Structure 1
Amino acid sequence: MSFLRRLFRRKKPAPLVCSVKLDDHGNPVGDDPNHVHTGACFVDFEPLALVEVFQSQGCVSCPPAVPGIQKAVTEKPNRLLLTYNVTLFDHLGWKDTLAGPMGDQRQRAYIKKWGRNTLFTPQVVVNGLIDTSGTKGADDIDETIGHARTSLRLPFHVYLDANDTEVRIDSDAPVPHSAQVETGDKTTPGPTPAVPVPIYDILVATYRAGDQTVKIGKGPNKGKKLPHLNAVSSVAKIGQWQGGDLTVALPAPKSSFSRGIEAVVFLQEGAGGPIIAAAKI
């Protein structure tokens, strides 16, 4: 679609195969304002798997397990690992240097959503759907990622992409007449779908790309080193989506980020809910 190419200036075209009108000479005549996405507009491709790792510098299981988790996630394409440090073991004599309320709240949201009453680290959560400890090796990580990818059955298609200043969502899920979208951009309501589309938060996580290895000075891991790959510094909600096509401005252009800071945008069904799409910014 020509309007997507203009908006995003991609190095690669979006996986959409929508038709466009041509003039008598076979040239595109512009975007069709009445176009409505259908399943025929989307092609199958392996989406980005968002793998969140919750770890603690005071957890005795983390130093031996985390390097293997990182390797298993990053050695294959279409996977993004994000690290959140938690304060779970700060009472054992060493205060985690990267932990804070953000990691604690995000981990506890999953535990609450799944109806559990215990926390553990390391914890590997894939697409907000399935988790594992990651201590059983690469096969366990691969199986968990595969299970997460196949277990999510959506009654619609959704494609998420971003450029330096905007996030773009394309979907054949119609917008309910009553849907309220938290953005200044306009979205034309469509017919109310037979199965209502849930409200998804549009979230942007920023992280420091690469490894930050910390040598632990006290506690049960004294003298050991723990790597932190893509440590998350912030998670911000920039809007909501409930079907249809939508463009949302980023809070700040990607080009304004400090050196080494990267970002990913994703759609998540509330706190601790499933993540249905993700894209690096």
Structure 2
Amino acid sequence: MKRINLFFMTASLAGVLLISAAFSNCEQETTVKPLKASASNKGFAVVELFTSEGCSSCPPADALVEKIQQDNFNSQIYILAYHVDYWNHQGWKDRFSDREYSNRQRQYASWLNIPSIYTPQIVVNGKAEYVGSDQGSILPAISTALEQPSISALTLHGTIENGKAHIEYQATGKQENTALILALVQQSAQSSVKAGENAGSQLSHVQIVRQLRQVSLNSDAKKDITLHLPKDFTAKGWELVGFVQQQSNGKITAAARLNFQAP
């Protein structure tokens, strides 16, 4: 786990669960049985990972979320991997990194009263944070989140045209001081790292956040937003994850995903 001193910045910013896991060290295989919720429960878990290709402690966390993703595909678990930029000075620039993702992590430090930011870090539903490779804490946290009914609801619809994604959204329920966060996600990628702490490694990534947008919510009305898509975007292999987040404390109250279809 790698920590750095925190400099606060303003960021513009489902029932019994069956879990069986065996996780030893970062070189060994992670086995995670599906995390399931009863049909009568509308719980969800937004799992936000802060990671970096330049951090030698991060590959085990990347492997953990990849296994959770594989074993719980299309479930109410929404994994988002933010590649922070503050390790880029260690000899390797993470091609997926962005200052905006580092600032989001700093915002969580403020919300959760954390004295420093570090990688790998996982935040579940905006309520609690964990060392990103700590499966023994993260899986129960996801299970608990899946048991909690949502206090609001979110629907997403979208079309792709001329390099743009036109998204229609509607959030209903309690919305006082809330925002809609939209994350454009590349579902997988590989990187050959040539320098830095992971020099010589072939890294595997899932659910890479490539674009992040925030919209204030002040009514139940349907609204829309347009996203400019990256040049390497393809309808297959990408998705949009949206969630409603309270801006006073970071708690997430609803989530949804949109799987893109070719026009």
1:84/1:208 Cα in 2 relative to 1: closer, same or farther (>3 Å)? same
Matches within 5 A, 1:167-246: 167-171=169-173, 173=174, 198-209=176-187, 211-241=188-218, 245-246=220-221
Is the 1:85–1:98 contact (alpha carbons within 8 Å) kept by the matching residues of 2? yes
Distance in 2 (CA, whole Å) between partners of 1:65 and 1:103 is 17
Structure richer in strand, relative to its length = 2
- The reply to whether residue 161 of structure 1 matches residue 151 of structure 2 is no
Larger Rg: 1
Q: Which residue of the other structure, out of 76, 86, 90, is the alignment partner of 1:78?
A: 76
Distance in 2 (CA, whole Å) between partners of 1:58 and 1:50 is 24
Is the 1:206–1:232 contact (alpha carbons within 8 Å) kept by the matching residues of 2? yes
SS at match of 2:169: strand
Is the 1:63–1:225 contact (alpha carbons within 8 Å) kept by the matching residues of 2? no
| Identity rate, percent | 28
The residue number in structure 1 matching 2:137 is 140
TM (normalized to structure 1)? 0.65
The Cα of 1:74 is off from its aligned counterpart by: 4.1
Letter of the 1:213 counterpart: Q
Is the 1:130–1:148 contact (alpha carbons within 8 Å) kept by the matching residues of 2? no
1:60-110 residue CA offsets vs partner (Å, 9 max, x unmatched) = 111233212321344133112111101232222112221111211111110
1:214/1:252 Cα in 2 relative to 1: closer, same or farther (>3 Å)? closer
Is the 2:182–2:240 contact (alpha carbons within 8 Å) kept by the matching residues of 1? yes
The Cα of 1:264 is off from its aligned counterpart by: 1.6
Specify every segment of 5 or more residues in structure 1 that has no aligned partner in the other structure, as ranges.
1-42, 174-196
Specify every segment of 5 or more residues in structure 2 that has no aligned partner in the other structure, as ranges.
1-38, 159-166, 259-263
1:135/1:261 Cα in 2 relative to 1: closer, same or farther (>3 Å)? closer
Letter of the 1:94 counterpart: W
1:262/1:72 Cα in 2 relative to 1: closer, same or farther (>3 Å)? closer
Distance in 1 (CA, whole Å) between partners of 2:226 and 2:216 is 11
Aligned residues: 206
1:216/1:238 Cα in 2 relative to 1: closer, same or farther (>3 Å)? same
Distance in 2 (CA, whole Å) between partners of 1:98 and 1:272 is 27
